[in-house]
């Protein structure tokens, strides 16, 4: 269409030139050596215009012909790039759907041809991890690092996550500690370190990390408080076998954390194991007087404080808020026995039995009945306690300190309850 329009324009121009020169067409003569050419000016102009148009399009056609191989190559490259982009997108979909083999194949084969080769290799590494192919996983991570040295933090973070998921905790720790040197305030690095130390039971290291978590506002105040309490409680449990280590860990525990129930329970329980429970007696009373806790109250009745009379009176004060609590009544019965108030001890223990019959309370009452000479009642209480122990095994155990709970992940992605760890 364009060529037709140009031809029409050229024809009209020739006609216009012919009309303009019909009265005087002009005369041109060109002489070169023995060669002479004569023609009218109108004819020369018309032929010149037509020749120019023909020459222009001939040159353009020739140029297009010469460029066609390069255009074909460019077209092929764009087609290949588009194909790689579509394969990468499909690979990411397969990865999110859990089709690991297909995802690895699509992402690895089209990684370098795609627009985002680093992401493709990282995705392939995740897929290989799920397939248990550690060597391929490490190869993809290496390729991603070589392709984009500037993105080494992102690659190393992915590597650390995969190592953690695969149970290679020591290797993940080394990788994260190295990363932290380059980016000490990175939120993801700090979160992963907190999660890793929790998994490893590295409570000292987790405690050392807490100031950085707090300073950089990595966790919510609620999650940070829970994490701090858990770390100190678990550390006390780990060192409970050694009284010197226990004392050292307790002195390094912030005062506000010492009054938290879980932390104080671990400390008191460890002290009782070393026959030094009296050291926690006053602190336990302060805590349960402000915020009631059955397990701490139970321990308060087991501990033999330095001043038995004061300990007994303090427990009696608690009756104002917990008059019918069976644990407090059991504790009062034990403390009354230690202070020689046998009748009061009997009253407290019988009240505890009425509120919540337990084999342990039966045992205390039976021992008391033997002490005051009521053998028949002692036998009855022994029989009742044995019956409850056999018939209701789930209720036969005395109140005990809480064991470590399962792993709970907070809203911030940090594990907030510890897995059982060796001391």
Ranges of the chain with pLDDT below 70: 1-33, 36-50, 52, 56-58, 60-85, 110-116, 391-423
Q: Which residues of 352-370 are buried (b: 16+ CB within 10 A; e: fewer)?
A: bbebeebbbbbbbbbebbe
| CATH number of this structure's domain 241-358+398-423 | 1.25.40.10
Domain positions in the chain are 241-358+398-423
Q: Please report, for residues 5, 18, 25, 49, 163, the alpha-carbon distance to residue 11 in angstroms, rounded to integers and kept in the order given.
A: 10, 11, 18, 9, 79
Do residues 155 and 148 lie in contact, with contact meaning Cβ atoms separated by under 8 Å? yes
Please state the pTM of the whole predicted model.
0.67
Q: For residue 423, what pLDDT is reported?
A: 33
Q: For residue 394, what pLDDT is reported?
A: 53
Q: For residue 337, what pLDDT is reported?
A: 94
Q: Please report, for residues 79, 326, 348, 399, 422, the alpha-carbon distance to residue 360 in angstroms, rounded to integers and kept in the order given.
A: 80, 12, 14, 9, 30
Running DSSP on this structure, what letter comes out for residue 409? B
Alpha carbon 396 to its chain centroid, in Å, reads: 40
Q: For residue 139, what pLDDT is reported?
A: 85
Do residues 381 and 192 lie in contact, with contact meaning Cβ atoms separated by under 8 Å? no
3-state DSSP call for residue 38? Answer: strand
């Amino acid at each position: 269409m364009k060529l037709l329009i140009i031809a029409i324009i050229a024809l009209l121009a020739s006609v216009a030139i012919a009309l303009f020169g019909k009265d005087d067409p002009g005369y041109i003569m060109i002489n070169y050596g023995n060669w002479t050419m004569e023609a009218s000016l109108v004819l020369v102009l018309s032929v010149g215009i037509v020749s120019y148009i023909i020459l222009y399009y001939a040159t353009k056609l020739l140029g297009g012909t010469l460029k066609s191989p390069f255009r074909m190559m460019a077209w092929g490259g764009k087609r290949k790039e588009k194909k790689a982009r579509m394969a990468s997108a499909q690979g990411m979909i397969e990865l999110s759907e859990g089709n690991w083999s297909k995802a690895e194949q699509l992402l690895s084969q089209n990684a370098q041809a795609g627009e985002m080769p680093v992401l493709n290799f990282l995705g392939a590494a995740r897929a290989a991890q799920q397939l248990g192919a550690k060597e391929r996983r490490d190869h993809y991570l290496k390729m991603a690092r070589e392709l984009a040295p500037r993105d080494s933090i992102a690659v190393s973070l992915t590597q650390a996550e995969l190592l953690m998921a695969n149970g290679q905790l020591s290797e993940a720790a080394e990788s994260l500690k190295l990363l932290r040197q380059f980016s000490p305030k990175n939120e993801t690095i700090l979160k992963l370190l907190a999660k890793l130390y929790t998994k490893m039971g590295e409570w000292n290291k987790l405690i050392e990390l807490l100031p950085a978590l707090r300073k950089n506002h990595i966790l919510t105040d609620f999650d940070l408080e829970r994490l701090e309490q858990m770390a100190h409680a678990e550390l006390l449990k780990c060192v409970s076998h050694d009284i010197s280590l226990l004392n050292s860990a307790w002195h390094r525990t912030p005062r506000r954390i010492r009054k938290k129930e879980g932390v104080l329970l671990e400390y008191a329980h460890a002290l009782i194991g070393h026959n030094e429970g009296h050291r926690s007696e006053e602190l336990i009373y302060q805590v349960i007087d402000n915020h009631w806790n059955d397990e701490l109250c139970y321990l308060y009745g087991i501990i033999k404080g330095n001043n038995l009379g004061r300990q007994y009176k303090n427990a009696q004060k608690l009756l104002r808020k917990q008059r019918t609590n069976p644990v407090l009544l059991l504790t009062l019965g034990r403390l009354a026995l230690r202070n020689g108030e046998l009748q009061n001890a009997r009253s407290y223990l019988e009240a505890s039995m009425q509120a919540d019959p337990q084999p342990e309370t039966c045992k205390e009452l039976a021992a008391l009945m033997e002490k005051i000479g009521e053998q028949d009642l002692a036998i009855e209480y022994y029989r009742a306690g044995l019956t409850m122990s056999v018939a209701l095994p789930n209720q036969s155990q005395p109140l005990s300190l809480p064991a470590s709970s399962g792993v709970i992940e907070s809203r911030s992605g940090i594990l907030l309850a510890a897995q059982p760890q060796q001391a």
